[in-house]
Amino acid sequence: MKNIAVIGAGTMGNGIAHTFAQNGFKVSLIDISEEALKTGIETISKNLDRQVTKEILTDAQKNETLLNIKPVTDLKEGVSEADLVVEAASENLNIKLDIFKKLDEFCKPATILATNTSSISITQIAAVTKRADQVIGMHFMNPVPVMKLVEIISGYSTSKTTLNHITKLAEQLGKNPVPVNDYPGFVANRILMPMLNEAIETLYNGVAGVKEIDTVMKLGMAHPMGPLQLADFIGLDVCHAILEVMYEGFKNPKYAPCPLLVNMVRAGKLGIKTGEGFYDYSESRKAEKVSDQFS
C-alpha cells in the first residue's frame, strides 16, 4: 500500500493523514469544505513544528511530510487511486453509510475500506458495500501522531487477509494494533464512556464540583487528565453520540447519556471545540495549554 485516502479533515482525519504522510505514504486528505481542509493542513503544520522543536523530526522531514499530503474536495477524485481509504467523518451512522456506498462505487476493486468509528458497527457499515470482506475498523486514538493504540475491528465478513494487511500497516506506522470484536463501543469506549458519563452524573447529582471530580481522578487514580476535562477534549457531542450508539446497541440503561450531558450538547457547549464545556476555553491560550499536554 502506497496511496492512502483519508476522509474528513477534522481532528481525527488530519491526525491520521499526518501519521501516514510522516511515514512515507502519499495521502489524499478529502473534505467537502475547502475551509476545513485549509484548517486541517495548518493544524498538521503546527503539530509538525512541535515535533521539530522536540527534535522528533527534522525540518526536511517536516517538509517531506507536508508534500506527501494532497488536499482534495472531490470524493471520487480523492479515492480513485487509493489502496486504502480511512473514513474519519462525523460519528453519524447515516453519513457513514452514504460515504461507504460511494466508496464501493468509486474505489478500485482491491481497495480496503476502513472506518475510524469509535462505536458504530463495522458489520452494518460493510453491509452497504459489495466488498464486506474488505471493510474493517481502524480506531485511532487522539492525538493520532502521539497515541500508540489502534483498535482493529473486524466485522462479521471481514477476511483474515484484510485483518492481516491492516495489522501490519498499523505496525508500519509505529502503532500497537489490538484486534477486538465488533460490538458497540468496542473495548476503549465501552470502558471509557461509562466512566466519563458517571463523572458527569456525579457532577449532576451535586456530589462535587468540576475541578474536585477531576482532581480526585488525577491524584487518586493517576489519570493524566480528569474525566470532565477529557470529555471536553474529546467533544461532548462525540461522547453523547457514542453513548447513544451503546445504549441503542445493548438496551442497557447504564449507557444512557446523563441529562446534564444531553442539555450541554443541546446548548452547543461541546468543550474545547466551541470554547466552553465543563471548563471555559474562551481564551485561546487556555485551549492551547490543554492541547499541548498531548503534543
Give residue-wise pLDDT tens across range 213-269: 999 999 999 999 999 999 999 999 999 999 999 999 999 999 999 999 999 999 999
pLDDT of residue 42: 97
Largest Cα span, the chain:
56
Among residues 3, 18, 87, 151, the one annotated as catalytic is: 151
Give catalytic status of residue 240 as yes or no: no
How far is the first Cα of the chain from the last one, in angstroms, to the nearest whole number? 28
pTM of the model: 0.89
According to DSSP, residue 147 is labeled -
* β-sheet bridge partners, residue 177: 150
CA–CA distance, 100 with 89 (Å, rounded to integer): 11
- Structural contact between residues 221 and 230, judged by C-beta atoms closer than 8 angstroms: no
Half-sphere exposure of residue 288: CA atoms within 13 angstroms, side-chain side: 7
Give residue-wise pLDDT tens across range 150-198: 999 999 999 999 999 999 999 999 999 999 999 999 999 999 999 999 9
Give residue-wise pLDDT tens across range 37-57: 999 999 999 999 999 999 999
Helix axis angle, 227-234 relative to 188-204, nearest 10°?
A: 120
pLDDT at 288 over 80: no
235 assigned binding-site residue: no
According to DSSP, residue 200 is labeled H
Give catalytic status of residue 118 as yes or no: yes
- Structural contact between residues 146 and 133, judged by C-beta atoms closer than 8 angstroms: no
Give catalytic status of residue 284 as yes or no: no
118 assigned binding-site residue: yes
8 assigned binding-site residue: yes
Q: Which domains does the chain have, with CATH numbers?
A: 3-181 (3.40.50.720), 189-290 (1.10.1040.10)
Q: Is 7 helix (H, G, I), strand (E, B) or coil?
A: strand
Among residues 3, 28, 87, 139, the one annotated as catalytic is: 139
According to DSSP, residue 173 is labeled T
Grid cell locating 236: 461532548
3 assigned binding-site residue: no
Grid cell locating 27: 495521502
Torsion on CA atoms 25, 28, 34, 38, rounded to nearest 10: 0
pLDDT at 104 over 90: yes
- CA-nearest of 103, 97, 173, 151 to 131 is 103
Among residues 118, 119, 154, 197, the one annotated as catalytic is: 118
* β-sheet bridge partners, residue 39: none
